[in-house]
Structure 1
């Protein structure tokens, strides 16, 4: 099949297919007498594997190392080891994201818990001084009250806006 048909069958742009060929992800193709590329059915499978691998988080270099030159000759153990490693990497990223999310939610709760009698600037100093990496030597024109742990009170969807 010509590159246009391959592009249509894989939903990839012809330039993307040529790029994958140029970097060695897609095996070199036969050329017809007129110079057109001619792809066999394995090219469809290879491109779908590349696309699926990218969606799963594999880099192009990882995919190049993972995909065999002959799609009928997979190294079962190496494939499973690589996939297990990717799952572990994803799990580590998930843990890191969960930690970051928890920190941001805590920060949001502290910001939302601004006492009415202090300014936004004083509240910012109050919140920042409670952060683990914060430096306690902030210049201050007013002493902010200590940070209190957030309470589990229901929040309004759209709280009224107040001027800082």
Structure 2
């Protein structure tokens, strides 16, 4: 099939398809006598795997390592191991985001707790000085534990 049909079947721009081919994610294709690229039917599946992989957090380099050149020779165990590691990565990221959110909520609470008689600049200094102290305490605690 020509690149236009492949683009229509996958929803990808022809330039994106050529990019995936150029970086080795999509197998290089043959050319017809008129110079047009000619893609095999499995290119649709391969491109859908690439876009799905990106959507769930795989980088292009990870996908290059994960996807076999021939989809019929996919190592089931290796695939599952890679997917499990990605789930662990996502869980670690979720934990970090939860911690970041808690810090931001605490910071907002500190800013909102501005005493009535304090101007914004003084409140900012108060909050910033508390932040530095809290960071120092957690750094000292972490060093003491480790």
Q: TM-score, normalised by structure 2?
A: 0.89
**Residue correspondence of structure 1 range 1-164 to structure 2 within 5 A:** 1-131=1-131, 132-133=134-135
Structure 1 stretches lacking a partner, 5+ long? 135-164
- Aligned counterpart, 2:144: none
Q: TM-score, normalised by structure 1?
A: 0.79
Q: For the aligned residues, what is the CA RMSD?
A: 1.0
Q: CA deviation at 1:133?
A: 3.2
Structure 1 distance, partners of 2:22, 2:126, is 56
Q: Which structure carries more helix by proportion?
A: 2
Work out which of the two has the higher radius of gyration on C-alpha atoms and give 1 or 2.
1
Structure 2 distance, partners of 1:94, 1:82, is 18
Is the partner of 2:72 in helix, strand or coil? coil
